[in-house]
Amino acid sequence: MSIPRTTESAPTPAPARKPPRGTADPVRALMHRHRELCERAVDPLEIAAGLEAHGITDRTAARFRHRDVFSLAEELYARVPRGAETEADEPAPELAPRAPLFGLLPGGCALATAVAAGVTHGQGRLVAVVVGTLGTCGALGITLRRGPLSGRRRVVPAARLAVCWLLVYAACGDGLLDQLLRGGPDGPWPVTATPLVGLALTVAPAAWCARLFSLLARRKLADSRSTAEFAAHTRPLVLVVTALFALAPAALLLAPGFTVGAAALGVSLFVARLLNVHGFHRAAALTLSAACAAEALAAACVLVGRLPGCRLVAVPVEALGAAAVPALACGAAALTLLIRATAALSRASAHT
DSSP summary character for residue 153:
S
* Mean pLDDT, the chain, integer: 78
Contact 327, 258 (CB under 8 A): no
240 and 158 assigned to the same domain? yes
Confidence of residue 206 (pLDDT cuts 50, 70, 90): very high
Cα 5 to Cα 2, 8, 147, 174, 233, distances in angstroms: 9, 9, 93, 112, 82
Contact 166, 296 (CB under 8 A): no
Residue 227 lies in a domain: yes
CB atoms within 10 A of CB 187: 6
Confidence of residue 43 (pLDDT cuts 50, 70, 90): low
Among 92, 62, 75, which residue's Cα sits nearest to residue 34?
75
54 and 203 assigned to the same domain? no
Asked, as a colleague might, if the bond just before 185 is cis with ω within 30 of 0, I would say: yes
Higher-confidence residue of 116 and 187: namely 116
What is the CA angle 202-203-205, rounded to 5?
A: 65
196 and 67 assigned to the same domain? no
pLDDT value of residue 177: 86
| Rounded percentage of the chain residues whose pLDDT exceeds 90 | 19
- Give the mean pLDDT of 8-36: 55
180 and 296 assigned to the same domain? yes
Helix (H, G, I), strand (E, B), or coil: what is residue 23?
Answer: coil
Residue 11 has pLDDT above 50, yes or no: no
Residue 85 has pLDDT above 50, yes or no: no
The whole domain housing 206 covers: 150-351
Task: Encode pLDDT of 226-273 as tens digits.
Answer: 667 777 888 899 999 999 999 999 999 998 888 899 999 999 999 999
Last residue of a domain, one of 87, 116, 132: 87
Task: Encode pLDDT of 125-160 as tens digits.
Answer: 778 878 888 888 888 888 888 778 876 556 677 888
Which of 18-27, 189-198, 295-304 comes out lowest in average pLDDT? 18-27
Last residue of a domain, one of 36, 53, 87: 87
d(CA 177, CA 291): 16
Last residue of a domain, one of 42, 61, 87: 87
Higher-confidence residue of 229 and 312: namely 312
Residue 110 lies in a domain: no
Residue 312 lies in a domain: yes
198 and 325 assigned to the same domain? yes
CB atoms within 10 A of CB 262: 30
Residue 114 lies in a domain: no
Residue 55 has pLDDT above 50, yes or no: yes
- For residue 343, what is the enclosing H or E element? helix 324-344
- Give the mean pLDDT of 316-339: 91
77 and 156 assigned to the same domain? no
262 and 333 assigned to the same domain? yes
d(CA 351, CA 233): 14
Residue 337 has pLDDT above 80, yes or no: yes
Q: What are the start-end ranges of the H helices in 190-323?
A: 194-201, 203-223, 227-252, 260-277, 281-304, 315-320
d(CA 203, CA 207): 6
76 and 155 assigned to the same domain? no
How many domains is the chain built from? 2
12: left (phi over 0), alpha (psi -120 to 50) or beta: beta
Residue 273 lies in a domain: yes
Among 30, 29, 43, 33, which residue's Cα sits nearest to residue 77?
43
261, exposed or middle or buried, with CB in 10 Å at 0-12, 13-18, 19+?
buried
d(CA 107, CA 196): 10
